[in-house]
Structures are given as structure tokens and as C-alpha cells.
Amino acid sequence: MSSGEQSPRPATHITEITVLTGERYHVEGSARDVERIILDAARGSIMQLARFTEAETGEDLAINPEHVVMLRAAGSREADLRR
């Protein structure tokens, strides 16, 4: 594998987060795990962000927990790999 190629990431659950603006983000983790991270951030210090890994790109993503309006299980990466 060359240095420019990414190694395949393991199968994982994917959850869709919808925020106040209507934007949707797909993050790694089950809906329950994502909910727990959002609740922990909301109960934490002022302006604590909920931090996730974006499912498609693997990039870090930080979301203001007060802006989250909906969570939805969006499947798993393993299911996407089988298509």
C-alpha cells in the first residue's frame, strides 16, 4: 500500500445528526453512543462541543450540542462496503 492510499477502516455503525440549520452529518457510532456524547457535552462546561469522526471522510467533527434537533441510525459502514 502506498503512502497516498488509506487503509480500510473497520465496519462501524453510522448515525445521522441533523442540526437547527437542517444540515445533516453522518458520524461514526451507534445512535445510543452518539446521543451519550451529545448529552455529556451539553452537561459539560460552557461551550463544550460534541466531538465525532465524520463517517465518509474520517475527519474530526465538533458540533454544538444545543443545535442538535434529531438523531437517526443510518446503517453501518459494513453494509455500505457490501454494495
Which CATH number do you get for residue 76? 2.30.30
pLDDT (0 to 100) of residue 9: 55
pLDDT at position 6: 53
Question: What percentage of the chain reaches a pLDDT higher than 70?
Answer: 78
Residue 52 located in a structural domain? yes
Task: Single out the residue of 68, 32, 33, 31 nearest to residue 49, CA to CA.
Answer: 68
The structure's pTM equals 0.78
Number of domains in the chain: 1
pLDDT at position 2 is 46
pLDDT value, residue 83:
43
> Residue 13: what pLDDT?
95
Going by C-alpha positions, the residue among 55, 58, 68 that lies closest to residue 27 is 55
Give dist(CA 78, CA 14) in Å, integer: 10
Distance CA 32, CA 5 (A): 32
Residue ranges, the chain, pLDDT below 70 = 1-11, 77-83
